Structure 1
């Protein structure tokens, strides 16, 4: 009988604990499903339950204000309410034109169907000419050829709060006779509502968006005999679709699969990253098939989500072109990179834009007030955020995206690459390298870190930047930043993966012994890092990462920058020069200096050649960039923009970086963890991150003020520092492997109650790390600090994800969804309709 080779199998001593974990997870999922069902049926359908017993209402003929143009004037008289008991009525026409928003009103007499007197208005529905299902909303969201949405305000009046049945006919006759509704005392539909003063409804073709609730009112404002529909929020010349209106309809009960999907994602996050999750006990191992599959799935899901985000504000349906910005009296051209790519194909470096003669005759063309005056006086054409220098317009944004994306795309297709497509490609490239790069970084320097913390760190790397801002608002502003983020993540991925086993060639991870350096990975990483000079130069700080990453190869094994490795050393230098030298020549050819990128010649709201924000404002500006709290409201969208009222350039913001990414607060403890960071050989890297982030933050704030768009310049640096400190903290909370058996025995012996015995048994069974290398050592005596730390880490990342995606609905930000995609905004807003006070 032949002997079979013994194949080592993971021990089964942890099976009981894992079974208990699976049972607990199953119970948690059952609880989560019950909670989701309760929220779906109860909270999100609260509008239905609140309108099941509203009083029936009869309506008279509508009175149209002078600010509405009706295509068929006689139709208004033809729509008199023939059935007095109807609670719905057709409008005079399906389409109106607003000529004067102040008088664009439809006044409707309403009566309680049972008593004939004043009625309580509980709900209203406005229906356009045609309704569409939610699944078709995306194709209509940016259809400029058809009506998409309208915003109506509601007012009520009470001319007779106590009419009896005998006086009803006289009152209706009088109302129809006078028809002078302007003499009525109108009050907002929300008057008497304590905490929800909103009396507007933005309705679309999606039925769920066509309802509004009146809310609970005080007694003197509860009953009405007239309802006014006002289109005061529309602009003159706009078209409104309104086929019918209903007073006191019962809001339909609905089940939203998209809403359920969102709740399932949140539930999955909470269950997977809860302090007692098995992911906190499993060691990170990036070489397993399971981890590789999870990483691939994470990248694919991120790519799909990024694509959806780019389409939220228009995406492929959005037509971009030169437009006049009335707010700053300049022309705005969103196609800078397309024009730069075309210019490169045509053999010149300036943009093909017309130059107004007044620019060349001005003593200082960068004086914003002077340009604004000339524009108002002569209609002179100036292009906003373009670099003007010696009679030509240039793009001061990095040229690398034009060389790698826009010019090749135009050369191959003859068309211009849309900004959203370029942003998405670069965003996906960033995610595709950032996730595995973060995992490699953690496993190399912190081999005793759990899978839970590793994935939380990867999610932090994805949100601790401005990538999602630029994907939501795809424009030439974000393309160079996204390009630098992608190049940096890819460069670090190859650098961290350059240490290979000398025998097998596999990644050596944290083992500096018998290893060799993969030359092509080092050189490719250098090329990618050098590209930052032609994208976003602030990211060149990451070049300094090479020293802590390759310190063993430089200082000890002499595989880099030594006589024995002169070929690789020369290749590294040549890789940087091959990228940097052409970019220096590009700058010199445009502005006469290799280091001048042209940003100071920008035609913007102030003279960048001479003006700078006050140094006295820098402390408060830096605090706002980092620590300004996020703002929240009591009604949808719940997340609001914050007030950055400083006398320096400011843009709408959701809060300071550390307020939006609280996980990064851990980086502030880097000095306290310096001993462990030194033991893990990342003290220098962490110090570079903190110092580099401070320098970049100061530079950006001094030149561009307070701006969410520039969080990406320093966000990745703080994310790296936070990841290093967080990994040190988790390792410090665990027992050394040698002490685990002692810990397990003492825990079992010290169990005095059944609960203690069960907990000790779980602990002893689940911490057999010496036998099962897949498991991490137990936490030190007392689980409270460890569980609190795990909870805080998971909560911080979940908060950041909510701020990223929930913040996209904030109404005060650039490209706000109410104007760019009213379908999506109004549909999600309808989820919370029942919460109206």
Structure 2
């Protein structure tokens, strides 16, 4: 009877193995067909009527490169698989060796972070480092209202605006001076952005009452804070999760990450919109760092200060940008699960509950204060005033159309795949122009209410460094591929496996939530990319260091990874620093035309055709 049971078990395992291998073969065939289809469509797009011109644009080139690269990767994978079949398969756990001794990375992070901030200062002051050209000051207006004990701005709307039957129709407002994109409600101006940046400006005014705290001052401060937070997070990741990787990689990551196109765009258009985003990201990242430090203290008495700081920072993030509320709720849930679960079992202990309560207390206070703030202004705790803004076509008459699933495809194309315009005719060679109808691929159908005139270049081209986040995904896919071929699933998560999982879940979940919100919004813009960019950047750092560790003992592959990292970092730096000479407002050229002309002539001499 026992032998019959073993025979049945072996037959069942054999059938499962055959099924796994059949699935693997089907996937190979499907992948090859998709790659061939992409190549065929790229070559025959004009003849098939998909492309209206015979010229090869960015979309056709991308299809051809993707199809060709996919076929090449498939061939290499099959060839490498045959080589691996000749060698015994060992688990990752048995192949691990002792990590290299930890080398301090503080010098690299400090120098590269300071360089990023200095370069940002050079851009925001148009190459002078000292001269700040007067610009927007919306949060200063709100701070002045707070100082006067008012929630509405002190500036009164013109009577001609109030006399309109529908002042929210931008056509009816033509010729009437008004505060652009402010909220008009019951005869008063408000701001639909969160109050925290204005509270920061108010704090400055307490010590310097006559100072005008322009949005650009706040933005540069938040940019500096983001750089510090990312430096701290990279240091923590390397010290706790990947202490065998070289210290210089953290510095290069920080420099290239902060000077790529999306974050540097904030610096080069320092208005109220960018300031709210930068403030929200600063507090979100500060809260993530504090929460991770708090998670390390679970087994210790004390450590509550980190949990308190995390709750306060995450509440302030929502107070800068209300749509970060979903991310904060998610992050709290992740850290609550990490705190209360151990080896799959719920551990409700007074110390752990107390630490969660310390984090929850400031979050609750922030939530109550922000709900009151909205209710006091607009009569509803959930009304931010966005529906009452004085804007253009970006606000449809039917407010329910502001968020819709029909915007997902064009938004994802903009957010991920839209290339910048590359021109060799003259400096700065990399452009993100205001979009026009003829700049869309012919296969995309745009919804009637979709607003698309804002400049944007997708993550794939504006920050190639982010491609590093695919490294662990590729590793997991390879493990699954080997499993389909009959291998065992590798076990072992390396050092501090639970902390790795906590960090990855937090960053990946937060980035996905913010990207999903961007995907269903009525419009996409370069500045919006920063809602998810910094968490994606941390995932890219995770991917680089995960790959570095996974390739331990393979110097050739590790050298290839280092070269790829250097290439992606350099591309991100070049695209970011060139592309931000010309953005929506062209501030550098307008504020310092002489220096701009000197730089343009230098680069045109060597690079222009």
- Establish whether TM, by shorter chain, passes 0.5: yes
TM-score calculated relative to the size of structure 2: 0.70
* DSSP-derived class of the 1:349 partner: coil
* Matched residue, 1:790: 562
Of 793, 815, 829, 2:586 maps to 815
- Answer 1 or 2: higher relative contact order, Cα 8 Å, separation at least 6: 2
Q: What is residue 296 of structure 1 aligned with on the other side?
A: 110
Distance 1:354 1:548, change over 3 A: closer
1:637 and 2:455 aligned: no
Classify 1:547/1:669 alpha carbon distance in 2 versus 1 (closer, same or farther; 3 Å). Answer: farther
Between structures 1 and 2, the one with greater helix share: 2
| CA–CA separation in structure 2 for the residues paired with 1:609 and 1:410 | 41
1:734-753 matches, within 5 Å, as 734=552
**CA separation of 1:692 and 1:524: change in aligned 2, threshold 3 A:** closer
Give, in whole Å, the separation in 1 of the partners of 2:332 and 2:253.
21
Aligned with 2:412 (options 606, 616, 622):
622
Which blocks of at least 5 consecutive residues in structure 2 are unaligned?
1-97, 438-445, 477-489
Cα distance in 2 for partners of 1:640, 1:537 equals 31
Quote the residue 2:527 is aligned against.
Answer: 709
Whether the aligned pair in 2 keeps the contact of 1:465 and 1:716 (CA below 8 Å) is no
**Residue-by-residue CA offset, 1:628-672 (whole Å, 9 max, x unaligned):** 123222132221225632464335536212211112123346544
Partner of 1:384: helix, strand, or coil? coil
- Superimposed CA distance per residue, residues 455-501 of structure 1 (whole angstroms, 9 cap, x where no aligned partner): 34434543468432122222222212111222122222222223568
TM-score (norm 1): 0.52
Distance 1:452 1:284 in 2: 15
1:815 to 1:404, Cα distance in 2 relative to 1, 3 A: same
Contact kept, 8 Å, 2:142 with 2:152, in 1: the verdict is: yes
Distance across 1 between alignment mates of 2:264 and 2:415: 17
Q: For 1:544, which of 327, 330, 340 is the aligned residue?
A: 330
With over 3 angstroms needed to count, the CA separation of the structure-2 counterparts of 1:350 and 1:452, relative to structure 1, is same
**Structure 1 residue 298: deviation in Å?**
3.2
Q: CA deviation at 1:410?
A: 5.5
Q: Distance in 1 between matches of 2:156 and 2:388?
A: 17
Q: Hey, what's the Cα distance between the residues in 1 that align with 2:289 and 2:234? A: 8
Q: Aligned partners of 1:518 and 1:528: how far apart in 2?
A: 16
CA distance in 2, matches of 1:806, 1:568: 47
Counterparts of 1:589 and 1:528 in 2: how far apart (Å)?
24
Q: What are the within-5 Å matches in structure 2 for residues 497-646 of structure 1?
A: 497-498=293-294, 515-516=300-301, 518-540=303-325, 541=327, 544-545=330-331, 553-556=339-342, 562-606=349-393, 607-608=395-396, 610-611=398-399, 612=401, 616-634=406-424, 635-642=426-433, 644-646=435-437
SS at match of 1:393: strand
The CA distance in 2 between the partners of 1:677 and 1:831, in whole Å, is 54
2-structure distance, mates of 1:519, 1:690:
25
Q: In structure 2, do the counterparts of structure 1 residues 478 and 561 end up closer, same or farther at CA, with 3 Å as the change threshold? A: farther
RMSD of the alignment, in Å?
A: 3.3
Q: Indicate how the Cα distance of structure 1 residues 386 and 459 shifts in structure 2: closer, same or farther if over 3 A, else same.
A: same
Assess, with a 3 A threshold, how the Cα gap between structure 1 residues 707 and 284 changes in structure 2: closer, same or farther. Answer: farther
1:804 aligns with 2:595: no
Q: Which has the larger radius of gyration?
A: 1
**Whole-angstrom CA distance in 2 between matches of 1:673 and 1:545:** 26
The 5-angstrom pairing of residues 429-508 of structure 1 reads 429-459=225-255, 461-463=257-259, 466-498=262-294
- Cα displacement (A) at 1:399: 0.5
- 1:134-533 equivalences in 2 (<5 Å): 285=102, 288=104, 291-312=105-126, 317=131, 320=134, 334-372=136-174, 375=175, 380-409=176-205, 412-459=208-255, 461-463=257-259, 466-498=262-294, 515-516=300-301, 518-533=303-318
Matched with 1:120 is none
Question: Matches of 1:581 and 1:616 in 2, distance apart?
Answer: 34
SS at match of 2:216: helix
Report SS of the residue matched to 1:603. coil
- Secondary structure of the 2:362 match is helix
**Which whole-Å deviations, capped at 9, do the CAs of 1:737-766 have from their partners, x for residues lacking one?**
xxxxxxxxxxxxxxxxxxxxxxxxxxxxxx
Distance 1:384 1:664 in 2: 35
Pairwise CA distance, 1:545 = 3.9
- 1:587-630 per-residue CA deviation (whole Å, 9 max, x = no partner) reads 11111122222112111113356253775453133112211123
Contact 1:480 1:536 in 2 (8 A): yes
Judge conservation of contact 1:498–1:517 (CA < 8 Å) in 2: no
SS, match of residue 495 in structure 1? helix
Distance 1:299 1:601, change over 3 A: same
- Indicate how the Cα distance of structure 1 residues 531 and 608 shifts in structure 2: closer, same or farther if over 3 A, else same: farther
Q: Is residue 284–residue 451 contact of structure 1 (8 Å, CA) maintained in 2?
A: no
Q: How far does residue 392 in structure 1 lie from its aligned partner after superposition?
A: 0.7
Distance between the aligned counterparts of 1:637 and 1:672, measured in 2? 35
Question: How far, CA to CA, are the matches of 1:452 and 1:314 in structure 2?
Answer: 30
C-alpha distance in structure 2 between counterparts of 1:720 and 1:480, whole Å:
21
**Partner Cα distance (1:387, 1:790) in 2:** 50
Q: Deviations over 1:146-198 (max 9, x none)?
A: xxxxxxxxxxxxxxxxxxxxxxxxxxxxxxxxxxxxxxxxxxxxxxxxxxxxx
1:743 corresponds in structure 2 to: none
Residues 569 and 732 of structure 1: CA distance in aligned 2, closer, same or farther (over 3 Å): closer
